[in-house]
Amino acid sequence: MTTEELVAQIHKKKSFLCIGLDVDLNKVPKHLLTEEDPIFAFNKVIIDATHHLAVAYKPNTAFYEAYGIKGWKALEKTIQYLNKNHPEIFTIADAKRGDIGNTSSMYAKAFFEDLGFDSVTTAPYMGKDSIEPFLNFKDKHTILLALTSNKGAFDFQTRKIDGKEVYKTVIEISKTWENSQNLMYVVGATKASYLKDIRKLVPNNFLLVPGVGAQGGSLREVCKYGLSSNIGLLINSSRGIIYAGNNKDFAQAARSAAKELQTQMQEILDAL
């Protein structure tokens, strides 16, 4: 998917919502556990209930790997269901991968070609040759961790290299890599004011912002500092939407939670 197609979808749906499909079988409604594939059954209901309100879905691969082969089958079915029924939706494999060059190529192939995701999240620690294999894919997007939403972000990311924070150094250096136009960045919503500085470094790149909702970030704060001329934001909510309810009406509860965020986004977009 091109960035232009993503932006067009945002304007059409009046939404820049991304829904995180982090399926934990301890948290899904009990009646789904008798299904042959309860993970996919859960995702299908969530997608059916919310696809008109969201522009992106983001399964975190950890939740699928934790169920072994069954989990990978559920991940395959989920991405296939999205690509077949909602090809306009932007898909993110939240995998946080990164390895030496020939190995990163294998990851890129797995997520972009075999599974057919539009994008994958990557970790910057191993540098340029660990990320460029992902950037080589045309109309695919590599979402690099910059500033994450967890407490551990302060262990290294906000420390300074030659007077400049590590996360800013990561962004600046990554801009020099080949095909850097295919880069997006993860920036946690728990530190919305940081977005102001980040927008100076990358005025146009999309930012994937986790941490709105369950992790305490404010949507209006994020938009105040993070919106760009092409919107440039994907706001993720996972638990706040998919576990809004946990009995037979969980689909309606998820739709309501998504609708609440989408309505706020519509107000923000209409006011631009």
Interface with its own copies (CB under 8 A), residue from 2, 33, 80, 114: 114
Which of the following is catalytic: 14, 70, 77, 96?
Answer: 96
Residue with smaller CB distance to its own copies, 6 or 241: 241
Among residues 131, 229, 126, the alpha carbon closest in space to that of 177 is found at 131
77 touches its own copies by CB under 8 A: no
Interface with its own copies (CB under 8 A), residue from 5, 14, 72, 269: 72
In the complex, least distance from residue 69 CB atom to its own copies, rounded to whole angstroms: 5
226 touches its own copies by CB under 8 A: no
192 touches its own copies by CB under 8 A: no
Neighbours of 63 (CB within 10 A): 20
63 touches its own copies by CB under 8 A: yes
26 touches its own copies by CB under 8 A: no
Residue with smaller CB distance to its own copies, 99 or 197: 99
35 touches its own copies by CB under 8 A: no
33 touches its own copies by CB under 8 A: no
Give the position of tokens 């939670």: 257
216 touches its own copies by CB under 8 A: no
Among residues 29, 59, 53, 51, the alpha carbon closest in space to that of 41 is found at 29
In the complex, least distance from residue 59 CB atom to its own copies, rounded to whole angstroms: 11
In the complex, least distance from residue 272 CB atom to its own copies, rounded to whole angstroms: 31
User: For the chain, what is the largest distance between any 2 Cα atoms, rounded to a whole number of angstroms?
Assistant: 56
Angle CA(199)–CA(58)–CA(33) in degrees, nearest 5?
A: 155
Residue with smaller CB distance to its own copies, 61 or 262: 61
Active site residue 224: no
129 touches its own copies by CB under 8 A: yes
126 touches its own copies by CB under 8 A: yes
Binders of its own copies in range 195-214 (CB under 8 A)? none
155 touches its own copies by CB under 8 A: yes
Residue with smaller CB distance to its own copies, 127 or 245: 127
For its own copies, the binding residues (CB under 8 A) are 22, 24, 60, 62-63, 65-69, 72-73, 76, 96-101, 103-104, 106-107, 109-110, 114-115, 123-131, 145, 148-157, 159-162, 166, 169-170, 173
Q: Which residues are part of the catalytic machinery?
A: 96
